[in-house]
Structure 1
Amino acid sequence: MLLAAFMCGTALGQNNSFQKDIYRARDKVLPALVHIQPVIKDFNTGELKKQAIIGSGVIFHPDGYVVTNYHVAGKAERIICTLSDREEVPATFVGGDPPTDIAVIKLDLSEYDGQIHVAQFGNSDSVQVGQQVLAMGSPLSLSRTISMGVISTRDRYFSDEIRLPTGEPTGRYNLWLQTDAAINPGNSGGPLVDMSGRVIGINSRATFGANNLGFAIPVN
């Protein structure tokens, strides 16, 4: 009975420690998470229409620079971002690279009185298969959402036949991180975070018709 009590106490202690790790990782990155609402041109019906979409991003510089996906912000006519304090600020497209599906936008902080939080980037080359991670973003427009999973594999390769929603080929220059953390439309551009609270990837895509198949661009 003493052995059983000892083992039970040890397990509870380990669970409490792991839970605290999750909280610490959350608190380091969630304040830097950005809910992005770009307005894009849509010609799918044969007519020019403007459409609002949803994406995510993470602040990486105190001047208001945000990294996201190219397919989120690359062709936006207008970008509105919601910060962690729920204040909305406009943003402008700085630059992007369709083959790697990465883009940078800059928040217009001229009329913003709040505090800018910056996420720290980790080393994606040191990521291990089976490592616990958190995916953050705005799936289906549900902002400030966190899901948890593991790195399913590293160095996942996609051919040039894979295209962004904006039409450009992508994947050729990426070796993706595959994760079973839930990634859905709206998560695109959000951070994939390790248990130390460092961004190790940028969430980019999921596989529709399958479960627990999400992919992130390694930050390195």
Structure 2
Amino acid sequence: ICVISGLARAEVRLRSAIMLQAEVLYADAHQDMALLKLPGRDYPCLRLRRHDRAPVGAPVYAIGTPVETELASSVTRGIVSAYRQEDGVNYLQTDAGINPGSSGGPLVDAAGRVLAIVRNKIVAKDVEGLAFGVPVGELTRDLGIAAGHSRF
């Protein structure tokens, strides 16, 4: 969270291109994640999946803003490839197309429920389709939120 670490506020751009000032409620530099609170109420939102472990092979969809804001809300699809752990952090591995700018976006199941937040992908000469997200269960435990009962 190099951009948010130590900050009390952050700027958020909505799909409608409206810019809002958000309050930083929680930031975790180790997981490179933050929870932001927008002013007002009733923003459209995605639901969290109640059980964070979708089966290996289940279809997933990554929503992100690859490269530039003109490509906002791009959707790619893939599957849950595996579950991994590194440095005490659990990850969901997927082959969904992840591009620069997609990190921080949701990885959703076929019902549109958030399974994970996209973290990164491996970029190497002979590597393809190797991306990772932090499962909702990890985030809800860290944030003290009951999955399915919160709005991000």
The answer to whether the 8 Å contact 1:74/1:93 transfers is no
Which residue is equivalent to 1:130?
Answer: 57
The answer to whether the 8 Å contact 1:132/1:149 transfers is yes
The answer to whether the 8 Å contact 1:72/1:188 transfers is no
The one-letter code of the counterpart of 2:52 is: S
User: Which structure is higher in helix share?
Assistant: 1
1:167-215 superposed Cα distances (whole Å, 9 cap, x missing partner): xxxxx22221000001122111110000011001000011112321110
The 4+ residue runs of structure 1 with deviation greater than 6 A are none
Provide structure 2 residue ranges, at least 5 long, that are not aligned to the other structure: 138-152
Q: What is the alpha-carbon root mean square deviation over aligned residues?
A: 2.1
1:184 alignment partner, one of 99, 104, 107:
99
Post-superposition offset of 1:100? 2.9
Post-superposition offset of 1:115? 5.2
C-alpha change, 1:140 and 1:76, in structure 2 (3 Å) is farther
Which residue is equivalent to 2:46?
Answer: 119
Q: Percent identity?
A: 33
For residues 182 and 213 of structure 1, the distance between their equivalents in structure 2, rounded to whole angstroms, comes to: 9
For residues 52 and 27 of structure 2, the distance between their equivalents in structure 1, rounded to whole angstroms, comes to: 20
The answer to whether the 8 Å contact 1:192/1:203 transfers is yes
Task: Write the mapping of 1:76-95 to structure 2, written as runs, cut at 5 A.
Answer: 79-95=10-26
For residues 97 and 7 of structure 2, the distance between their equivalents in structure 1, rounded to whole angstroms, comes to: 26
Query: How many equivalent residue pairs?
Result: 132
Q: Does 1:100 align with 2:9?
A: no
SS at 1:100 equivalent: coil
TM-score (norm 2): 0.76
For residues 72 and 214 of structure 1, the distance between their equivalents in structure 2, rounded to whole angstroms, comes to: 22
